[in-house]
Structure 1
């Protein structure tokens, strides 16, 4: 069974960059899915779940139209508590990060601009945490 990593950001240039970096880091180990907003992100999570594909990590932007990243990750956590949740942000306020930590079991917050090393470390640590459960 395949595992997946999902990225959600309303800027396609960021999604492209994330996708490229993650694919370079992990190759064919995972399926990669991308969404441009929270609603699309949730639809992808539900579809993958129905197909029996396990989403290990979700990387979500904070500032998106419609629903902010902390609210989205809380929603994700309620339905899919085992997914490792990472917030990617250029401008999340501390309250939003705290909200996600307290209510969505936020694993990490990466600030834009990020490095491929940061991304790799966070994703690998997140996945190894799942494997310890």
Structure 2
């Protein structure tokens, strides 16, 4: 069983389904891939992974979500999981939100929606290589 996880947070189920299909196609079962539809649900997933001593490698978050913007969520994630790579996947974030995420969450990059599978593969591969 994989000992490392990638978590994707987006309030749109269709986005989560597509990205999960792409991850399985690109990376097989090399990593645990978890999804969440809100920051609250993501925290449940992240804490459960942490309790099971599963390394959270990457957290991908939409920016426009209910209750908390993605840059703020990723900053909170950075506080608890500073080694996790943070990526924003969005069609809505403005330059200021991206800059806040870079400063407060050590944002690796921002992928604009709609994304191309090759772009996602290149970003994740680069992130994993460190």
TM-score between the two structures when normalised by the length of structure 1: 0.95
Find the aligned partners of 1:41 and 1:73 in 2 and give their Cα distance.
11
Q: Which has the higher helix share?
A: 1
1:17-56 map, 5 Å: 17-56=18-57
Aligned residues: 129
1:29 counterpart SS class: coil
Deviations 1:68-107, CA, capped at 9 Å, x for gaps: 1000000000000000000000110110000000010000
1:65-80 map, 5 Å: 65-80=66-81
Shift of residue 5 of structure 1?
A: 0.7
Find the aligned partners of 1:8 and 1:23 in 2 and give their Cα distance.
17
RMSD: 0.7
Shift of residue 2 of structure 1?
A: 1.3
Find the aligned partners of 2:24 and 2:106 in 1 and give their Cα distance.
25
Structure 1: gaps (5+ residues): none
Deviations 1:35-57, CA, capped at 9 Å, x for gaps: 00111111111110110101111
2:86 counterpart SS class: strand
Structure 2: gaps (5+ residues): none
Corresponding residue for residue 126 of structure 1: 127
Corresponding residue for residue 99 of structure 1: 100
Find the aligned partners of 2:44 and 2:127 in 1 and give their Cα distance.
22
Runs of 4+ displaced beyond 6 Å = none
Find the aligned partners of 2:70 and 2:11 in 1 and give their Cα distance.
11
